[in-house]
Structure 1
């Protein structure tokens, strides 16, 4: 599926800081592109999913750093 924000997710992220939303959107687009690229390259779905999960942890870390910086 294409990287997009559904109505339900849009309502959920409405109250979040702009920095968090920007990082999340960037991550969503990047992971979608990476997923498609690796599938087209012939990688197994399990391998691709594991690689994307690893990338997702990096974006979660970046969001944590952004939120922690604003609270400090």
Structure 2
């Protein structure tokens, strides 16, 4: 995938953090069992942190585009953490 397309997807994902953190009805209904609890905890922590980060930046007078860029950068860190956790759990399952 091209870098520009990935960047666009990242910014689109970051826009969802403008609203308060919550567990949506879709997630409650389609609760994925294959996702580890560690990954779910990271995702919830990310949702809470990124929502509050966006609100604090806009409250300081930053433009929404600047706040979204900051949130997108921080989102990549959480994505990296989940990817590392998934990789380590996959390698542990493969060894057993």
After TM superposition, is the score higher than 0.5? yes
Partner of 2:21: 3
Please, which runs of 5 or more residues in structure 2 have no aligned partner?
1-18, 92-96
Q: Residue 66 of structure 2 is aligned with which of 29, 39, 47?
A: 47
Partners of 2:88 and 2:39 lie apart in 1 by 12
Pairs aligned (count): 72
Partners of 1:13 and 1:47 lie apart in 2 by 33
Is the 1:13–1:21 contact (alpha carbons within 8 Å) kept by the matching residues of 2? no
After TM superposition, give the deviation of residue 44 of structure 1 in Å: 0.4
CA deviation digits over 1:15-63, x for unaligned, max 9? 2110110000000000011001000000000000011011111100000
Please, which runs of 5 or more residues in structure 1 have no aligned partner?
none
Task: Give the TM-score taking structure 1 as reference length.
Answer: 0.91
Partners of 1:2 and 1:18 lie apart in 2 by 22
When the two chains are superposed, the root-mean-square deviation of aligned CA atoms in Å is 1.2
Partner of 1:24: 43
- Greater Rg by CA: 2
